[in-house]
Structure 1
Amino acid sequence: MQFLTYELAQEIVERTMKILNSNINVMNNEGVIIGSGDSERIDQLHAGALLVLERGESVEIDHSSVVSMEGSRPGINLPILFNNQVVGVVGITGEPEQIRSYAQLVKMAAELVLEQSFLLERVQWKQRAQSEIVNQLISEEGLDEEVIKERAGLLGINLELPRIAIVMKGSDASIQRLIASIQYEIGREDLIGVTFNNDIIILKAAVVIDTNKDINTFLKRVSKVSSNTILIGSGRLAEHIKQLKSSFDQAKRAILVGSKLRPNRSFYRYEDYQLEIILAKLVEDEDKTIFSYYHQLLDQGRKGELIHTLEAYIREGGELNKTAECLFIHRNTLRYRLDKITELTGKDPRNAKDLMELYMAKLLHDIS
């Protein structure tokens, strides 16, 4: 397996050259220079590196021996180890006596860069694998449960656990920053993925007794991390993996409806907007003109007072005293406004059925 690439070798060179003022060369497991502070030496064969690869130990080259060693200059060449295997060579140009004290430090730096690169690649592989699983679980296509459970099992994820779908929407730039930030908030059994349109999806495992409290706490933490630049929605608990698609759809609708009704918030739970979401779905395919009477209220009264009155009346559950207090008006003024709403729309807010229709009309207007 080729552990060292040209890009990684050059990264080792650039990092280690900051340690001391000497040229650094990195050779692959065939003794070819693939990274160097001297670009003209790239792709040259390094005889000193071949000796290191053969012996498995450091080799010092001074002025007297450099003549017989092709592609070499005075310096020290040390093996780069990974998992106790020699995978390459790092060479320091200079008189051995002058650079010997730095040699082990450069070797350690090279091996650290290699290890970090390997770990990063593993993390990125795991993220890609999780993302593929998440997208399969929320897709419309047929789901092969056994296959996807097996794939998740390889990542140490148990798909038998109940989960809640959480959707995060934002700009491409903020999404990339958020992915890095929320890694510390993700549990061991949680799955995280990114959709084709750059939405982040978390399938959060419900492993606590009070799931609602746990999810609320999680949403608040994530919202804080994202500095309120991301819209977050959560669906209902999915007891089975086939229900995750529904939970995902609910989370998206929670954002769609919630962000229109409460734009000052940053996260929206499906349970908090369930009625509004259901009503919105009911009227989606209906003739929108049936609610045209609502527009009669938009331009009526001082500063839209009839709309504000209707909103307060709905919010206070039709309680006249509470509504009047909320609006800082007399009960008689409130009655006058309710009568005016009835006159303009043909719907009396004091009638339960009419109030429901007015609320549906208002909802359709707000989310359109």
Structure 2
Amino acid sequence: MQLNEMIARQIVERTMKIIPYSINVMDDKGRIIGSGDQDRLHQKHEGAVLAITEARVVEIDDATAAHLKGVKPGINLPIFYQEQIIGVIGISGTPEDVHHFGELVKMTAELIVEQAALMSQVQWNKRHREELVLQLIKGTTLNEMQLNAIADRLDLDLNQPRIAAVVKVLPKKDKPLSLEHLQQLVHLLEYPERDNLVGILSVSLNEVVVLKPITLTTNGWSQEAETKRINQLLRRVKKEANFQIKIALGDYFPGLSGLARSYDTAQLTLNSVANRLGEVFFYQDYRLPVMMSSLLNEPWRREQLELPYKQLQSGDSKGLLIKTLKTYFAQNCDSALTCEKLHIHRNTLRYRMDKIEQVTSLNINNIDNLMQLYIAINLFHWAK
């Protein structure tokens, strides 16, 4: 720990509120880096050099001050941090008048130094935690042993199974967003402590990534349990924050390398639901559009995939055919359940299915044709 001008300035300001004398703070070389007398800044203080060299309190009267450079009458006390002298605090005045203030200002200075060191360590940990998170989700040249060594220094457990979640911050009532909003979200995700690993993904896109711990069972991990935790977060956001969020959770993949894959599924899910209403989205519920999202980036493939949907749109202005087909697929192609769900007669369903085949030129009894219809309905109607 080293004294700098910012810490020295804090020491001067706080101690001069306590006592009616000018305060000087010198670094470990005896240079004045903080003072109640601005004209003395950056001067060498030979009394401080003596206090550092001999590790003792140095009192300076008028006669002594006359023989030392950059010195006025007063008292100079070494500042210790972890049993090492890192600087000196001086009180200007007649030694007899200021002597009894010495231990008070020394204790105040050392408390400020300890607080600054603690804050510096917290910021260091926070920055390196975030860097580790970004390394884990974006891929890294570090091997597993190196990653675990970094995690150990940060007191993190990378053996804990985790899934990635991407949280997008959205404005409330058209109020502009800022970095402070992202930082507030990070705080909400980190406290109370749930062993979440959090990092700001993009300030411009207002996105934060969370590596959430999960409990694995023979049946995998519980989407229901994560939903409960997410709902707690949503309640806190609504109560404490001036923004809204949309969150997408990826799937679990084993090993440290699996975190990058989990992140990919979460990010692609969030991209897929960009125009969809709602707050919480699980990759498992949108697996098809997520896995096929890359195909939609190629215009000719997108055109081919969405052709049946567009044909149904143009051939059915009321949307009955799309609604029927969507329900049919939701009921696992069970005609009886589809009729029950839509409250229609079997003959009505048969008529609508014939109409679908006529409009799209696709045979529902042909597995290849049925798959084309399934993709068109679930990929394009779902995205609307």
Instruction: Report the CA distance between 1:235 and its aligned residue.
Output: 1.4
SS in 1 for 2:275: helix
**Does the alignment pair 1:215 with 2:226?**
yes
Cα contact 1:347–1:354 (8 A) shared by 2: no
Work out whether residues 167 and 247 of structure 2, in 8 Å CA contact, stay in contact via their aligned partners in 1: yes
Distance 2:103 2:283 in 1: 58
How far did residue 250 of structure 1 move?
Answer: 0.7
Percent identity of equivalent pairs: 30
SS for the counterpart of 1:123 is helix
Query: Which whole-Å CA distance do the structure 2 matches of 1:239 and 1:204 have between them?
Result: 14
The aligned residue for residue 255 of structure 1 is 270
* Aligned position for 1:327: none
Letter in 2 for 1:258: V
Residue 184 (structure 2) pairs with residue 177 (structure 1): yes
Which residue does the alignment assign to 1:34?
A: 33
Runs of at least 5 residues in structure 2 that lack an aligned partner in the other structure: 170-176, 332-336
Show the counterpart of 2:172.
none
Aligned residue number for residue 157 of structure 1: 156
Matched, 1:192 2:191: no
The one-letter amino acid paired with 2:261 is S
**Do the aligned partners of residues 59 and 354 (structure 1) sit closer, same or farther apart at CA in structure 2, a change above 3 Å counting?**
same
1:124-139 paired onto structure 2 within 5 Å: 124-139=123-138
2:280 is the counterpart of 1:272: no
The Cα shift of 1:252 comes to 0.6
CA deviations over 1:132-176 (Å, ceiling 9, x no partner): 333332235655233323333333334333221222334651223
CA contact (8 A) 1:223 1:232 kept: no
Equivalent residue letter for 1:178:
L
Residue of structure 2 aligned with 1:206, choices 209, 214, 239: 214
Q: Give yes or no for contact 2:23–2:91 (8 Å, CA) kept in 1.
A: yes
C-alpha distance 246-38 of structure 1, shift in aligned 2 (>3 A): same
Moved more, 267-276 or 212-221: 212-221
Whole-Å Cα distance in 2 between the matches of residues 59 and 337 of structure 1?
A: 102
Whole-angstrom CA distance in 1 between matches of 2:355 and 2:20: 82
* Separation of aligned partners in 1, 2:44 and 2:191: 45
State how 1:84-95 maps to structure 2 within 5 Å: 84-95=83-94
In 1, Cα distance between the equivalents of 2:221 and 2:303? 42
Describe the superposition over 1:206-244 as per-residue Cα deviations: whole angstroms up to 9, x where unpaired: 357694255334433444444453332221122211222
Could you tell me the TM-score, scaled by structure 1's length? 0.76
Q: Is the 8 A contact 1:80 1:107 kept in 2?
A: yes
Question: Partners in 2 of 1:138 and 1:335 — Cα distance?
Answer: 48
Task: Report if aligned partners of 2:166, 2:267 keep a CA contact under 8 Å in 1.
Answer: yes
Q: 1:241 aligns with which of 256, 260, 277?
A: 256
State how far apart, in whole Å, the 1-side matches of 2:95 and 2:328 are: 85
Distance 1:172 1:12, change over 3 A: same
Determine the C-alpha separation between the residues in 1 that align with 2:350 and 2:16.
82
**1:164–1:235 Cα contact (<8 Å) kept:** yes
SS at structure 2 position matched to 1:253? helix
Report the count of equivalent residues: 357
Quote how far apart the aligned CAs of 1:87 are: 1.1
The range that moved more, 31-40 or 246-255, is 31-40
SS of 2:69 mapped into structure 1? coil
CA–CA distance in 1 between the matches of 2:184 and 2:116? 20
**Per the alignment, do residues 311 and 79 of structure 1 end up closer, same or farther by CA in structure 2, a change over 3 Å counting?**
farther
1:363 and 2:370 are equivalent in the alignment = no
Alignment CA distance shift 1:284-1:110 (3 Å): same
Cα offset for 1:32? 1.1
Find the aligned partners of 2:352 and 2:104 in 1 and give their Cα distance.
82
CA distance in 2, matches of 1:362, 1:214: 27
| Rounded Cα–Cα distance in structure 1 between residues aligned with 2:382 and 2:321 | 12
Query: TM-score, normalization: structure 2?
Result: 0.73
- Equivalent pair of 1:126/1:155 in contact (CA under 8 Å): yes
Specify the SS of the correspondent of 1:156: coil
How far apart in 2 are the matches of 1:106 and 1:319?
Answer: 81
For residues 335 and 365 of structure 1, do their structure 2 counterparts lie closer, same or farther at Cα, with a shift above 3 Å needed?
closer
Shift of the 273–57 alpha-carbon distance from structure 1 to 2, 3 Å rule, reads same
Q: Counterpart in 2 of 1:120?
A: 119
Trace 1:285-364 onto structure 2 (pairs within 5 A). 285=298, 287-290=301-304, 291-292=306-307, 294-295=309-310, 309=323, 313=327, 317=331, 319-323=338-342, 342=356, 345-346=359-360, 357=373, 360-361=376-377, 363-364=379-380
Q: Measure how far apart 1:33 and its partner are.
A: 0.2
Structure 1: gaps spanning 5 or more residues: 325-329
